[in-house]
Amino acid sequence: MTSEPRTAIVTGASQGIGAALVRTFLERGYSVVANSRSITKSGAFVSSDKLALVDGDISQIATATKIVETAMSRFKSIGALINNAGIFFSKPFTDYTAEDFKALSSVNLEGFIYVTQLAIKQMVAQKSGGSIVSITTTMAEHPIAGVNASVPMITKGGIEAITRSLAMEYAKDGIRVNAVAPGVVDTPMHKDDPKPALESLSPLGRIVDVQDIADAILYLTEARLVTGEVLHVDGGAHVGKW
Domain ranges in the chain? Answer: 7-233
**Is the confidence at residue 2, as pLDDT, over 60?**
no
Query: How does pLDDT run across 81-92, given as a tens digit for each residue?
Result: 999 999 999 999
- Which residues does 146 contact at the CB level (< 8 Å), separation at least 6? none
Beta bridge partners of 62: none
Neighbours of 120 (CB within 10 A): 20
What lies within 8 Å, CB to CB, of 101 at 6+ separation is 151
pLDDT for position 191: 66
**pLDDT beyond 80 at 98:** yes
b/e 176-207 (16+ beta carbons within 10 angstroms → b): bbbbbbbbbbbbeeeeeeeeeebeebbbeeeb
Cα–Cα–Cα angle for 99, 102, 106, rounded to 5 degrees: 145
4-45: per-residue pLDDT in tens?
Answer: 569 999 999 999 999 999 999 999 999 999 999 999 999 999
Residues paired with residue 123 on neighbouring β-strands, in sequence order: none
Q: Model-level pTM?
A: 0.92
Q: For the domain bounded by 7-233, which CATH number is listed?
A: 3.40.50.720
Distance separating alpha carbons of residues 170 and 97, to the nearest angstrom: 36
